[in-house]
Chain A
Amino acid sequence: MFSVIVRRIFSMIPTLLGLSLVVFLIVKAIPGDPAQLLLGDKANAQSLKALRTELGLDSPIFVQYGKFVYRTFIEGDLGRSIASSEPIWDIIKVKFPATVELAIFATFLAILIGIPLGILAADRKGSWLDSLAISTSIFGVSIPVFWLGLILIWIFGLNLGVLPMSGRMDIIFDYEPITGMVLIDSLLQSDLELWWSSFTHIILPGVTLSTIPLAFIARITRASMLEVLKEDYVRTARAKGLSKIKVVMKHALKSALPNIVTIVGLQLGALLAGAMITETVYSWPGIGTWILSSVHARDIPALEAGILLVALTYMIINLFVDIVLMIVDPRVRIT
């Protein structure tokens, strides 16, 4: 199994090069001259030309791409943001954990509700629980996330006033990041008040973000459980007189697990990127809002790094899913 994993990791290198090429070309295609953006509208032609030479913008495009790959992957230098002139690494260090925290929270919620709902629905096909699971999965993929977010803010933040409407924590706290994830850091610093503040802040965006993965997880769990429950060995297990819980949880769920793992992984990857809309609604200071503001500000270096980061994360999660699949599903190991 180990050699398969190693091979899988090495097979990522061409994909990575393809990915970086796509990102490079996208960013090149975005209108706007980086030199002009850096120097502002009033810059004279001479200094513009000098900066273009300095940035390597007047060399042939494949040379620029080569430099981009070398700079990004070998030197690990992402440059500076045009909008805030901070090093991009420093921005990522703050923003990325915020998005990861939100995405993981939402995924946990989706798993916690979606998997039991899917199992129960399949076990009692045609019951009200089944109808609930089916409507949940249709609602989840049909509801506009930004609308749900605004409605939740309107109900819980504005009318009931029980939950905060935006941000990650109350501004009174003096937060020193360790991992950058407030929920974890506050526990590490045993600051329970901070933990509570960040917990109440993450509930609404977490619930909002979890709707789509919840829909998919419930749907896939139900479908694959239905398939497995029809199998002969499940009937045999039942005939042997095993308790129903044991048959469903041990025999059936084990075979349905690969499908569920795949969908959870895909959804987590999509969340890390799809958090853009939810982050905007709740002013969550994460990667999504950063990429969006970079689009609006034409902050080319920030955009380049942001897109690459999201695509890379997506790729690494897929790799991780493949490895977990090899562990839970022996059939995958051979190929």
Chain B
Amino acid sequence: MKKLYSLLKNFHQKYPAGFWGLVILTLLIFTGLFAEFISLVDPLAQDYTLKFTPPLWSQAGKWPHILGTDVLGRDVLSRLIYGARLSLFIGLFAVAVGAIFGIPIGLISGYYGGKIDSVVMRLIDLMLAFPSLLLAICIVAILGPSLVNAVIAIGLVSIPPFARLVRARVLGEREKDYVLADRAMGKSTFSIIFGSILQNIWGPLLVLITLGMGGAILDAAGLSFLGLGAQPPTPEWGALIAEGKNYVFQAYWLIFFPGLAIFVTVMAFNIFGDALRDYADPKTK
């Protein structure tokens, strides 16, 4: 506990922005985990008599609808709180898909080199020949629009960055002494690649995972906004904006707060990820 405290203190001194990113992310995780206890109102409960109640600080505001209500009288704040849980799920799941496929591809391609490597890299380059959003839209068009499919699409599109980063790192590692020692000791190739080498390149991977989660949340919100991701009444933040955009004339709070939530969350991932990168490799600062 003491060690964690001094580590955080050190991190705060060196990277104040990154530290605040971490604080926001911790709050977000907390909100997502305990959404039932934090939200005052059921996020799906409708009440037509409360339609378009403005936020509490304006004159017509009504407790407990702190951030107002939408066209069906649903509470905006509760929907945002449940949306936090969804966003965490989106970030984790999308990055997991990218990492589960991308890391082994990069490890194997980088370690063996030769024909395997050139075939794999050709395929990766082909994927990179498409703008990632377009590719994600194509995948959603094949699978059908839903939040899960949007997340799968974003995950698949994030395979190339993982594969490329891991491959580049493995190329630098595979001739190092510890790998030679492992080989001399007769360790299996599998345990060299997925044990020793993976352990030694974990730092930069962690950075990519952090930044990737922010990116995934942003992309998923974009797909939901285009009607290709989460469908109503799912309180995903992008979907909330898509629902609210038709009422921008009468109820700004329907788009303002969900967008702010996305913005702050993605920014927290980005500044924490940047700080993590500098922490792991101070040269890049």
Contact = CB atoms under 8 A, between A and B. Distances in A.
B134 A153 contact: no
Interface string B101-128: 0000000000000000000001001100
Contact of A146 (B129, B142, B144, B222): B222
B142 A276 contact: no
Given A144-B238, A144-B259, A146-B222, A310 B252 contact: no
A314 B132 CA distance: 11
Contacts of A291: 134, 137
A107 to B, nearest CB: 15
Interface in A13-71: 15, 18-19, 22, 26, 29-31
B207 interface: no
A146 B237 CA distance: 12
A150 interface: yes
A142 B214 contact: yes
A315 interface: yes
Nearest to B214: A142
A138 interface: yes
Nearest to A14: B122
Interface stretch (A180-188, A267-275, A327-335): A267-275
Interface string B207-218: 000000010001
A63 B130 CA distance: 25
Contact of A295 (B137, B255, B263): B137
Contact of B141 (A30, A139, A272): A30
Interface stretch (B34-42, B76-84, B264-272): B264-272
Contact of A277 (B126, B225, B262): B225
A22 B126 contact: yes
A292 B226 CA distance: 8
Nearest to A158: B249
21 contacts: A15-B126, A18-B122, A19-B126, A22-B130, A26-B141, A30-B142, A31-B142, A143-B266, A144-B238, A144-B262, A146-B221, A146-B225, A147-B258, A150-B241, A150-B248, A274-B131, A291-B137, A292-B137, A295-B141, A310-B130, A311-B131
What are the 3 closest A-B residue pairs judged by CB atoms, nearest first? A147-B259, A273-B131, A142-B267
Contacts of A29: 142
Nearest to B269: A142
Contacts of B126: 15, 18-19, 22
B131 A269 contact: yes
Interface string B237-264: 0100100010011001001101100110
Nearest to B267: A142
A307 interface: yes
Chief secondary structure at chain B's binding surface: helix
A147 B137 contact: no
Interface in A215-243: none
Interface of A: 15, 18-19, 22, 26, 29-31, 138-139, 141-148, 150-151, 153-154, 158, 269-270, 272-274, 276-277, 280, 291-292, 295-296, 303, 307, 310-311, 314-315
B261 to A, nearest CB: 10
A154 B249 CA distance: 8
Contacts of B137: 276, 291-292, 295
Contacts of A272: 131
Interface string B53-84: 00000000000000000000000000000000
B263 A277 contact: no
Number of contact residues on B: which range applies?
A: 35 or more
Chief secondary structure at chain A's binding surface: helix
Contacts of B144: 31
Given A142-B267, A150-B241, A292-B226, 13 more contacts: A22-B130, A142-B266, A144-B218, A144-B222, A146-B225, A147-B241, A147-B258, A280-B225, A291-B137, A295-B140, A296-B227, A307-B130, A314-B129
B133 A15 contact: no
A274 B263 contact: no
Given A30-B141, A153-B248, A19 B266 contact: no
A303 B262 CA distance: 30
Contact of A273 (B133, B222, B245, B252): B133
Contacts of B225: 144, 146, 277, 280
Contacts of A292: 137, 226
B206 interface: no
Contact of B133 (A274, A303, A315): A274
Given A158-B249, A276-B137, A280-B226, A142 B131 contact: no
B90 interface: no
A19 B271 CA distance: 35
B133 A276 contact: yes
A279 to B, nearest CB: 10
